[in-house]
Amino acid sequence: MLQFPKDFLWGVSTSAYQIEGAWNEDGRGESVWDRFAHRPHNVADNHNGDVACDHYHRMPDDVALLKTLGMPAYHFSISWTRVLPAGCGAVNPAGLDFYDRLVDELLAAGITPMAVLHHWDFPQALQELGGWVNRASVDWFTDFARVMFNRLGDRVPLWATFNEPWVIAFLGYGSGIFAPGVCDYSQAYQTLHHLLLAHAKTVQLFRQDNHAGEIGIVLNPDHFIPATNRAEDIAACQRAYDENVGMFLRPLVFGEYPAQFMDWLGVHRPTIFPGDLAQIKGSFDYLGVNYYRTSTVTHDVGGGLLKAKIHSVSEPGWGRTEMDWGIHPAGLTHVLLDWKENYGNPKMMVTENGAAFPDAPDDTGAVNDPARINFLRAHIEATHAAIRQGANVRGYFAWSFMDNFEWASGYRPRFGLVYVDYPTQKRTPKASAHWFGRVAQQNGL
Ligand code: PNW
């Protein structure tokens, strides 16, 4: 049996817009994802999160299910516009109450709550003031964080500011395939800087106000491999790594952006005020690692600002997921060891890892998903391998608790450990849910 360290934290993750639904109920304000998904052709089959898993109305049952499955921890995000409908200003008591009840339900069930302040559902009213490109966004975010810390800080031991700031900056403002759908790399890099600054100021606030517990930020590193050992592929690989990892970890750990990559950006370099980087340096207690992919990188003049073509690959013998992502468990070991060796071995948690497969109930209503069990087992083994080599990894969370709204891909890809029949909202734990619950209970494989 592969045993994990004592106090290793196991759990499952979700995010607000992907599961809650109730998009315009009890005073919730509009987010950029509401706006984006309501516009035709942005999301596959024109799906949207209006109803999603109806978690807003089914929350107590969903927490009871987490308990039945034996999940020790639950990683969820907070809908900013449920709490502050216009993004700033008046608080919506009903929205704040929802998260208060969620935390109480979790604690009563013996489940550790881990709250992410922002998982992409930015207030539309603030988008109209420029969104993350406006430096005022730093204050908008810290004001929202203050409301949440004051209400839940006495009961939530683990916080994260942002989930995957890379996705917000580069898919939201760069390629524009995600909300708010902006296609402008100057805005993307300015967004990146403001996200890190908002993160840092929020951590300062958390520490100044002496909240118990720990706070960090969740990144989404790929493991990158040059497609060949030609110098130009190696250079392209370094650029892909810098955009995805270096631009976040170098400022967070060392207080500087990667110099060579900043030169490459030229006119797209963000505006940085004196003192910003000093505030970003060291602004975390732990780092979240969302790992999905290993990618090869080829120099390609048609490959946008990076001049790189990035292609996700599988280890031999592994197929591909329903998202057509490769499956490469060893990449997770590489990422954790990279962070150990090159960024001072911070406290790390795997905060998301999982895959979409075409799951369906059989004649008896059971959902058998051996492919997902194999996927999770191999990645849990890869996490263990990194720990054996000294990486300071403290937890592992599977994405996702249940099937949900998979952003621009709509509801077709099913990442859940629990199957959701959307027309009836019936939840059926897949075989992987029972399997993963046992792994968590035994603290090992
Ligand atoms: C993560 N990409 O997203 C998110 O944190 C989840 O909300 C999401 O459901 C999960 O992974 C599965 O996709 C990503 O295209 C989505 O590079 C897309 C990308 C990266 C991360």
Residue range 23-42: mean pLDDT, rounded: 98
Cβ within 8 Å of residue 255, ≥6 positions away: 277, 278, 280, 281, 282
Atom 18 in ligand 1: which residue has the minimum CA distance? 167
303-334 pLDDT per residue, tens: 999 999 999 999 999 999 999 999 999 999 99
Checking 86-94 for CB contacts under 8 A at 24+ apart, the result is 86/29, 86/123, 86/125, 86/126, 87/29, 87/122, 87/123, 87/124, 87/125, 87/126, 87/140, 87/144, 88/123, 88/126, 88/140, 88/143, 88/144, 91/147, 92/26, 92/27, 92/28, 92/29, 94/26, 94/27
Q: Which of 53, 244, 290, 414 to mutate to test the pocket of ligand 1 (most atoms within 8 A of CB)?
A: 290
Residue range 89-117: mean pLDDT, rounded: 98
Q: Rounded CA gap, 174 and 187, in Å? A: 7
| CB contact at 8 A, 114 and 74 | yes
Q: Rounded CA gap, 22 and 88, in Å? A: 20
Q: Which of 13, 121, 171 to mutate to test the pocket of ligand 1 (most atoms within 8 A of CB)?
A: 171
234-284 pLDDT per residue, tens: 999 999 999 999 999 999 999 999 999 999 999 999 999 999 999 999 999
What is the per-residue pLDDT for 246? Answer: 98
Residues with CB under 6 A from ligand 1: 15, 18, 163-164, 167, 220, 290, 352, 399, 406, 415
Mode of pairing for the β-strands spanning 294-299 and 308-312: antiparallel
DSSP assignment of 414-434, as one string? ---SEEEETTTTEEEE-HHHH
**Residue from 30, 164, 243, 406 carrying the catalytic annotation:** 164
Q: Of 366, 387, 374, 401, which is closest to residue 443 (Cα–Cα)?
A: 387
CA count, 13 A, side-chain hemisphere, 71: 32
Atom 9 in ligand 1: which residue has the minimum CA distance? 406
What is the per-residue pLDDT for 229? Answer: 97
322 alpha carbon to ligand 1 midpoint, in Å? 13
Q: In what order do the strands lie in the sheet with 294-299?
A: 223-226, 294-299, 308-312
Mean of per-residue pLDDT scores for the chain: 98
Map out the domains of the chain as residue ranges. Answer: 9-221+328-442
41 alpha carbon to ligand 1 midpoint, in Å? 19
At 365, the pLDDT band (50, 70, 90 cuts) reads very high
At 100, the pLDDT band (50, 70, 90 cuts) reads very high
Residue range 79-97: mean pLDDT, rounded: 98
Q: Which of 407, 409, 412, 420 to mutate to test the pocket of ligand 1 (most atoms within 8 A of CB)?
A: 407
What is the per-residue pLDDT for 215? Answer: 98
164 catalytic, yes or no? yes
For tokens 């057509």, the residue is 324
At position 73, the amino acid (one-letter code) is A
At 18, the pLDDT band (50, 70, 90 cuts) reads very high
Q: Could you tell me the two tokens for 404?
A: 């949900």
Residue range 369-381: mean pLDDT, rounded: 98
20 catalytic, yes or no? no
CATH superfamily of 9-221+328-442: Glycosidases (3.20.20.80)
